[in-house]
Structure 1
Amino acid sequence: MVVQDNGGGNDTSLIQTFTITVDAVNDPPSFSNLGNQTLSTWTNSPQTVNNWANTFIFGG
């Protein structure tokens, strides 16, 4: 990058190199899942699928 002002004289900087780091902000949380589950028989009682939700990313 070269910076120059309009003040006259020697107003141009030497070439400078720098790094800009952009950190993630306000990323939504997410997770992976084991996909749709199929019941072998009809039931209207609650079902539990262990580890169905996994690989949690809590956002930033």
Structure 2
Amino acid sequence: MADIFSDYGYSSVYHRFKTPLYVTGLLDEMEPELLEDFFEHMDLSLDLFFDEFRFWIQYYSASQNNHS
């Protein structure tokens, strides 16, 4: 997943969120394609907080599951 963050210009975000992502398991069950799609459709600030990221990724994931 680190590569995906980097590919979309969010490597600094990944480095800040590496531990919370591990502890929460937020991306453990997520398909890489969904994370790529998320980054393609969302414009995130590099200064965002982990809770903001968690909210938006869960919101996006739920909305995609409802459309499939």
Q: Which has the larger radius of gyration?
A: 1
TM-score, length of structure 1 as denominator length: 0.21
User: Which has the larger helix fraction?
Assistant: 2
TM-score (norm 2): 0.20
